[in-house]
Structure 1
Amino acid sequence: MTEPNSHKPPVPSPSPPPRAPIPQTPGPRASRLNQVFDQALARTLRANSYANFASCFPTPARHVPASLEGVWRQLNAKLEANAKAEFEDIIAERDAVAHLNELDRLVADARARREQAGEGEEKERIAPHTLGAEDLYKAHLTPYLQEAQSTLNARLEATHAENAELAQTVQKQRLEIERLLSNLGVVVSDIEGAATAASQFSKENHLRQDAIQMDEEVRAQSGL
C-alpha cells in the first residue's frame, strides 16, 4: 500500500526568484551614450584643425611648418587621450553601463505591463472576489509598477545630470586648448623679439666696425 502523500508535487517557494545579473555589455542606452561622446570629441578635434592652428602662428607655419604640425598633432593626441580616459573613469566610477542596462530593462518591463494593463481595461469589470489567483496576483503588481516608474524617472534625471557633466568636461578641454594656444603665442612672440634684437645688435656692431676702420684710415693718412 502506497502512502497518500508520496506523489505530491513540491510546494513552490513563496519568495520571488532572484533577478538575473545585469550584463556589463553596453545596451541601447549605453551604446548611444558612447556614440554621443565619440561624436562630440570628433567635432572638437575637427574644430582644432591644422589650418586653424597654423593661422594663429603664421611665422612658425611659414618657417618651420613641420615642427608646428608636430606640436599640433601632439596637442590633439593629448586632448583625445585625456578626454577618453576621463570619460572611461566616469563610466566605471558611476557603473553607468549596468545602470543604463537596468534602465533599458525597466523601460521594456514597464511598457509590456502597460500594454497588458491597457488590454485589461478593455475587459468588462469583474468583482474582486470572483477573480482567480492569477488575476489577483496581477492586481497586486500595481504598487510595484508605481515604484518602478518612480525609479525610472529618478534614473532618467541622473542620466541627464551625467550628460551635463560630460558636456562640461568637453567645454573644459576646449578651454585648455585655448590656454595652450595662448601660451604658445607668448613663446613665439618672445622668439620673434629675440630675433629682432639680435638683428639690430648685428647691424649696430657693423656700423661701429666701419667707424673704427675709417678712423684708422684717417690716422694713417695724417701720418703720411
Structure 2
Amino acid sequence: MPSTTTSQNGSHHEASPSPPPPAPVPLTPGPRASRLEKVYAEALARTLRANSYANFSACFPTPAKHVPASLESVWRQLNAKLEESAKAEFDEIMREKDAVRGLNELDRLVGEAKLRRENGEGESVVAPHTLGAEDLYRAHLAPFLQEAQDSLNEKLEATQVQNAELAEKIRQQRLEIESLLSGLEVIVADVEGAAGATAQFSKENNLREEVVKMDEEVKARQEI
C-alpha cells in the first residue's frame, strides 16, 4: 500500500511510489562466465598436454634411463601441482574481480536490449498531431531536400572528377610546352652561333680585302 503524507492544511495525498529495487544478480555462472571458464580449462588442458612425459623425460635423459618410474612419478606430481595452482589462481582472480557477477550483469543487459529491440522499444516514435507547424513543414520537405542534396552531391563528385582530369591535361600540356621551349632555345642558340660565325667570317674577309688593297697600293707606288 503506498504511503500517504499530510500537508500543512491537513489534507492527505499519496506519495509517489519509489521504483522497485533491481533484481539481484545471480552468482551462478551465466553463459559468458561459463564460456570463460570453459575457455580457460581448455587452454590449461592444452598446456598440460604440451608438457608430455616424452618432452619432460627428454630434458632428463639420465634419470629417464636409470629410474624411469621415479621420473614419471615426478612428472605426474609436477603436472598435478601446475594444474592445481593454475586453477586456484584463476578462481582467485575471478573472486577479486567479481567476474561472475559482472558477466551475469552483462548477460542481463544484452538480453534486455534484445528484448526491447524485438518489441520495438527504444525507438522514439512521435505522434504527428503533437508536432508544430514548422516541424510538420520540415518533415514534409525533408525527403525532397534529401533527394536534392543527393543529386547535388553526385553532380559535385562528377565535377570534381572532371576538374581532376582537366588539371591532368593542363599539366601534360605544360610539360609539352616546356619541352618545346627547351627545343626552341637550343635552335635559337644554334642560330645565334651561326650568325656570330657568319659575322666573324665577313669581318675576316673584309680585313683580307683591305690587306690586298694596301699591297696593291704599295706595289703601285714602288713602280712609280
Q: Give TM-score scaled by structure 2 length.
A: 0.48
RCO comparison, higher one (Cα < 8 Å, 6+):
1
Q: Give TM-score scaled by structure 1 length.
A: 0.48
